[in-house]
Structure 1
């Protein structure tokens, strides 16, 4: 069973995603900010991370930078889930190691699950 960590400050969205992940058979954990998320990444070693960009204290860009500093964590695929959809933000996230970028308003939970499955299947092959 693949383990997915969601780092998202919006409690409603965080819980919705966590529930959906569990419904389809993933082991799901979540964090409400970047610092908490980094601690969980080190502890849980997830197979994939869903990461919001706009969060208090440590935003998603800073969280990505910290993940890339640790060679054991840098290989974990990160999908950005954000309300930011400008090309500059997408490019910056990908430069910092994100494998995909989803604008929240444009994707349903089922489409997010499809993206996760595609990325995890690529990783395994």
Structure 2
């Protein structure tokens, strides 16, 4: 049974609503353990189910296994870059419809345009957003997509 106190925040944005009879699941693909832990803790506190991935390959595997409602993706990753991940997501019919939000310190216009051309729903520059602001943006995007 859903706990209604966990379903709304100030401003009426959904927190952990049930989407297709399951809790909202997110995948966070971030190699910086400190930042990843901080974001995962914030998201979990808000009621999201979160799977962590320290690199692109693990992130793609998590996406295929869990079919999350949203992915947060860093661009500068060991091995496979975030751009490579976006290309792989775009080509994989099983996961191509999963919305991806890029979370990176790359902020050049060409990086932002490239991410969007590869299907990213949004591009957040880490240095300009607190973890709390990132969570708020995740909620806004989920609200736009699923409510």
- TM, length-normalised to structure 1: 0.97
SS at match of 1:42: helix
1:124 aligns with 2:133: no
Correspondence for 2:129 among 87, 90, 107: 107
1:1-125 pair list within 5 angstroms: 1-125=23-147
State the distance in 1 between where 2:38 and 2:85 align: 22
Give 5+ residue unaligned stretches, structure 2: 1-22
- 2: CA distance, partners of 1:41 / 1:77: 11
Instruction: Report what 2:5 is aligned to.
Output: none
Quick check: which one's helix share is greater? Answer: 1
Once residues 131 and 80 of structure 2 are traced to their aligned partners in structure 1, the CA distance between those partners, rounded to angstroms, is 25
Deviations 1:13-71 (A, max 9, x none): 11111111000111111100000100110001111000000011100000000001112
Aligned residues: 125
| Structure 1 unmatched runs, 5+ | none
